[in-house]
Structure 1
Amino acid sequence: MQRPKVLMTNPSIPQVAFDILERQCEVIRTKDYTRASILEKAAGVDALFWATSQKLDAEILDKAGPQMKTVGTMSAGVNHIDVPELKKRGVKLGNTTGVLNDAVADIAVLLALGASRRLHEGRLKIEKNEWTPGLTWMLGKDIVGSTVGIVGLGGIGQAIVKRLKGFSVGKFLYTGHREKPEGTDLGCTFVSLDTLVKESDFVIVSCPLTSETKLMFNDGIFGKMKSSAVFVNISRGDVVDQDALVRALKGGKIFAAGLDVMTPEPLPPDNELAKLPNVVLIPHLGSATENTRNAMAELTAQNILRGLGGEEMFTPVC
């Protein structure tokens, strides 16, 4: 019996995924994660192990062929995948929701603290030999007693709240499509986006990128935030109008920002965002721990095997 073919779209996928799939499948490897490399190898495969920011769309599905009915993406977000097109073709899709919650929540806390305590700006003072200690020098913002607003109280948002409770936060607000029982259990208050941005000292974005949330944080929203507010984004860069964010940071409309995601990625070093002292930037490291990436790779492989076997995936999207 012929073994199903699985295309691994990134040579740096953790080895655990190859080990799992090679027991039952013919594993095909791309030379890199580029679109050209994927298209070169896609023809005739039965499943795609999607581990790239490249768009999975009709062109790649056509290249793979009608027998390709299973996709596992090594990500929680699926904004880089044409989900309606997959549904139209009856292709199963599974993601890695859940297993990266803790690692991403850790990064959110790191960025909130780093931005509020002027981490990048402090480093610049040392590099420029401008360290001039004084009782009112380089004062930051306290998280203790503050109001923290979470935009998107999913698994990651809930993990962020659980961590920040240890910092004696005064109040947690959250917004989304609807009030959640998990929010009540965590002692959070459900509010509108307008109320959240007006009242929060820290605004942390952990919602998925959709047509509804794209460019949600714009000039109007930043204009409603406190001038002392700290903005943190661990979602996707396109949730934010980045030019509007730069204007808000340069104009003192908000105090600081901590970003794990931005537009474009990789961010050019001469980008205006990279020149601002009141921004802490890290290069999309949310899930970048060894244990987390291994767990993501393993879950993706298991989702693919279940999809190929006609079973429901462990974490199905469609």
Structure 2
Amino acid sequence: MRPKVYITRRIPSAVVAKIQEVCEVEMWQEEDIPVPREVLEDKVKDIDGLYCLLTESIDESLLQRANKLKVISNMAVGFNNIDVEAATQRGIIVTNTPGVLTETTADLTFALLMATARRLVEASDYLREGSWKTWSPMLLTGQDVYGATLGIIGLGRIGESLAKRAKGFDMRVLYHNRSRKEQAEQVLGLEYKELDALLKQSDFVCVLTPYSPETRNLIGERELSLMKSTAILINTARGGIVDEAALYQALSNGAIWAAGLDVFEEEPVKPDHPLLTLPNVVTLPHIGSASIQTRTKMAELAALNLLQALRGEGPAHRVN
């Protein structure tokens, strides 16, 4: 009997066809609406494999309904949407899709940094609304990127790739990580700093650390108070790493100069979220890896992980 698989969002048809060669496949068909919880609770009862996204909460209560489930293939690098411990206790393999999105996410992170520094969204809106009347010496002036100091919190694959881009702008690059990476220091000319020192010295602070209970609200009121008043915070990791209420206050009272955010604690973010009301915040709808090529590669890798697990092979990207 062919294993049953449920896919929680529409993915490229070629990837679905690859899974269908081996499995009986059912897929949620709504493009922009996550699969409802009650639907997922029903589908998970009778499947061998679950192909899911960050939008699905795969918690213990859901797993209790999964009588046959062998593998959860997450189409993402992060897996904080999955109760990995509960899955492990039930013998369920959990996989992710690292590596393929590294360069694309680093591109987006640096693009967000530059857009925030040079006030590109503000400038575009200013022009489109008809406010541009004349050239003025200090009109929409931003912060220099070239030659500035960049602080990277979390020097994983994406952090190292971001550092390479920063070096092209002759930036001094500091980093904070759970462990020092001396080879990266030598090859890329990076400087390791304790978190407080990094915050005090950096013109740009980029958050790229994984989300975990230890990193929740890692950047809060105290940390923001250490930053320069001209500093810019960029977060393309996970929303919960930055205390959003504290960030709003810091941006409102001028404690820091601006922020660029691709992620929020609650996604999709509500249109009336306080941070969306501030002119010195550039916001994006979690598009860090959103290139056609990269999202296709992610879908393919998630499918490979799924099929390897169902065939009894050891998936290369198992996280438990």
Asked if Structure 1 and Structure 2 have the same fold, meaning a TM-score greater than 0.5 normalized by the shorter chain, the answer is: yes
Choose from 59, 63, 70 the match for 1:61. Answer: 63
Residue 5 of structure 1: aligned partner: 4
Choose from 216, 221, 224 the match for 1:222. Answer: 224
Say which is worse superposed, 305-314 or 238-247, in terms of deviation: 305-314
List per-residue Cα deviations over 1:35-57 (Å, max 9, x = no partner). 22212222121111112412101
Alignment check: 8 A CA contact 1:150 1:204 kept: yes
Distance 1:175 1:15 in 2: 41
Residue 307 of structure 2: aligned partner: 305
Distance 1:41 1:155 in 2: 35
Distance 1:201 1:72 in 2: 38
* TM value normalised by structure 2: 0.94
Alignment check: 8 A CA contact 2:219 2:241 kept: yes
Say which is worse superposed, 105-114 or 155-164, in terms of deviation: 155-164
Residue 14 of structure 1: aligned partner: 12
Residue 268 of structure 1: aligned partner: 270
List per-residue Cα deviations over 1:95-138 (Å, max 9, x = no partner). 00111111111110111000001122223433454335322222
Alignment check: 8 A CA contact 1:197 1:224 kept: yes
Taking structure 1 as reference, are residues 27 and 60 closer, same or farther at Cα in structure 2, changes over 3 Å only? same
Distance 2:277 2:301 in 1: 39
Secondary structure of the structure 2 residue equivalent to 1:204: strand
Q: Which runs of 5+ in 2 are unaligned?
A: none
Give 1:207 deviation, angstroms.
0.8
Alignment check: 8 A CA contact 1:233 1:259 kept: yes
Give 1:263 deviation, angstroms.
3.0
Give 1:182 deviation, angstroms.
4.4
Residue 40 of structure 2: aligned partner: 38
Alignment check: 8 A CA contact 2:54 2:76 kept: no
Give 1:281 deviation, angstroms.
0.7
Residue 26 of structure 1: aligned partner: 24
Residue 79 of structure 1: aligned partner: 80
1:228 is aligned with what amino acid? T
Q: Kindly report which structure 2 residues correspond to 1:229-244, keeping only aligned pairs within 5 A, or say none.
A: 229-244=231-246
List per-residue Cα deviations over 1:23-42 (Å, max 9, x = no partner). 11111223452222212222
1:7 is aligned with what amino acid? Y
Give 1:9 deviation, angstroms.
1.3
Alignment check: 8 A CA contact 1:17 1:300 kept: no
Task: Say what the alpha-carbon RMSD is for the aligned residues.
Answer: 1.4
2:184 is aligned with what amino acid? G
2:263 is aligned with what amino acid? V
Alignment check: 8 A CA contact 2:54 2:79 kept: no
Distance 1:243 1:124 in 2: 26
Distance 2:54 2:45 in 1: 18
Say which is worse superposed, 46-55 or 31-40, in terms of deviation: 31-40
Distance 1:150 1:28 in 2: 41
Alignment check: 8 A CA contact 1:28 1:41 kept: no
Give 1:210 deviation, angstroms.
0.3
1:113 paired with 2:110, answer no
Give 1:16 deviation, angstroms.
3.0
Secondary structure of the structure 2 residue equivalent to 1:149: strand
Q: Which runs of 5+ in 1 are unaligned?
A: none
Secondary structure of the structure 1 residue equivalent to 2:51: strand
Secondary structure of the structure 1 residue equivalent to 2:168: helix
Residue 146 of structure 2: aligned partner: 144
Q: Percent identity?
A: 39
Q: Kindly report which structure 2 residues correspond to 1:131-210, keeping only aligned pairs within 5 A, or say none.
A: 131=132, 132-169=134-171, 171-184=172-185, 185-210=187-212
Say which is worse superposed, 102-111 or 175-184, in terms of deviation: 175-184
1:257 paired with 2:259, answer yes
List per-residue Cα deviations over 1:232-281 (Å, max 9, x = no partner). 00001111110111111111111111111113222222221111111111
Alignment check: 8 A CA contact 2:152 2:207 kept: yes
Residue 105 of structure 2: aligned partner: 104
Distance 2:54 2:14 in 1: 17
Say which is worse superposed, 20-29 or 107-116, in terms of deviation: 20-29
Alignment check: 8 A CA contact 1:30 1:41 kept: no
